[in-house]
Amino acid sequence: MANANGSEKAEEVIAEAKQELTDFKREAYQRAEEARKEVAKQLNTAAETIRKEVRDGNADKEAVQRADEIAARLEKTAHYLNNHSAYQMGEQATKIVTRNPWRAVIIALVVGLVLGLISRGK
């Protein structure tokens, strides 16, 4: 009888852990979706600001062209973010990392170093 009671308790703990994991995943995706939308807005705003500042500053033709290129890249990134969910981007990232694991490790290392230097400087 003690063994049956123990296995029931273990099953309850497992079921509870599964539910908590499901809740955590749902909340994480909701937050990622909110961040995705906000980042897309900020990228579009940055692109508009870059174009406006260059044109208002009476910059030369080459500077205007470079600013337009940068703004276009920002808008392209915002467009990508608007058209792909956090889940879809996660799947794509997983595929890329699986195909090129060493490249992913090197990129993660470089990003980590840059973020570390930035946070250390504050």
Mean pLDDT, to the nearest integer, of 27-42?
91
pLDDT, position 51: 92
Contact predicate 46/74, CB 8 Å: yes
pLDDT digits (tens, 9 = 90+) for 81-105: 999 998 899 899 889 889 989 988 8
pLDDT, position 108: 87
Mean pLDDT, to the nearest integer, of 48-77?
92
6: buried, middle or exposed (CB in 10 Å: 19+, 13-18, 0-12)? exposed
Residues 92, 93, 97, 100: is their CA dihedral positive or negative? Answer: positive
pTM here is: 0.66
Contact predicate 53/12, CB 8 Å: no
User: Among 75, 82, 77, which residue's Cα sits nearest to residue 50?
Assistant: 75
